[in-house]
């Protein structure tokens, strides 16, 4: 297919913005998060952590959409993402609206 359908409510959707948290000293430098981040947010750093490994570093923070794949793939519970505070407000509001709608529909 050579065209993409543009969602009719594209203007209403706000792409979520995520924030990456890394506990460097828990990391064993396996590189799963860097390799499989779909939006190329991370890269390996040069520094050594306390265990002598190279932990990841956030390269393109603006690219993160809080998909949580790094968090799921990390075997060492060292990385996770959260919604950026401003997005959180929006999503809370949105979910409240959704709930309202759902109630009306039922």
Partner 1 sequence: MEIRFAGFGGQGIIRSGIIVGRAASIYDNKFATMNQSFGPEARGGACSSELIVSESRILYPYVTKPDVLIAMSQEAYEKFKPNLKKDGILIIDTDLVKLKKAGKLFSIPATRFAEELGNRIIANVVMLGFFTALTKVVSVEAMKKTIPESVPSRFVELNLKAFDKGFNYETEMVKSRGSPPDVDPPRAENF
Partner 2 sequence: MIKKEDHHPMESLLRMDRIPHIWCPGCGIGTTVTAFIVALEKLKLDFNKVCVVSGIGCTGRVAGYINLDSFHTTHGRAIPFATGIKLGNPELKVVVFSGDGDLISIGGNHFIHAARRNIDLTVICVNNFIYAMTGGQVAPTTPLTAYTTTSPYGNFELPSNVPQLAESAGAVYVARWTALHIRRLTNSIIEALQKPGFSVVEVISPCAMYYSRINRLGDGIDMMKFYHENSVIKHNEPTENLDIDYQKEIIVGKFINRERPTFTDSYNDWLVTEKKAQSKSMI
Question: For the chain, how big is the Rg over CA atoms in Å?
Answer: 18
**79, burial (CB in 10 Å: exposed 0-12, middle 13-18, buried 19+):** buried
**Interface with partner 1 includes 77 (CB under 8 A)?**
no
When CB distances are held under 5 to 8 angstroms depending on the partner's kind, the choice from partner 2, partner 1, none that residue 73 binds is partner 2
**For partner 1, which residue of 1, 5, 11, 52 counts as binding (CB under 8 A)?**
52
CA–CA separation, 101 and 106 (whole Å): 9
Q: Does 28 bind partner 1 (CB under 8 A)?
A: yes
Residue 77: contacted member of partner 1, partner 2, none (CB under 5 to 8 Å, by partner type):
partner 2
89 binds, among partner 2, partner 1, none (CB under 5 to 8 A by kind): none
Please, are residues 44 and 68 in contact by the beta-carbon 8 Å criterion? no
Q: Find the shortest distance in angstroms from Cβ 52 to partner 1.
A: 5
């Amino acid at each position: 297919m050579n065209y993409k359908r543009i969602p009719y409510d594209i203007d209403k959707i706000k792409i979520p913005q995520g924030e990456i948290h890394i506990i460097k000293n828990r990391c064993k430098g396996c590189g799963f998060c860097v390799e499989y981040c779909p939006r190329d947010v991370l890269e390996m750093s040069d520094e050594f952590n306390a265990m002598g490994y190279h932990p990841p570093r956030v390269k393109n923070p603006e690219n993160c959409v809080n998909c949580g794949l790094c968090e799921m793939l990390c075997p060492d519970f060292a990385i996770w993402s959260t919604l950026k505070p401003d997005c959180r407000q929006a999503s809370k509001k949105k979910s409240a609206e959704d709930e309202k709608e759902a109630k009306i529909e039922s």
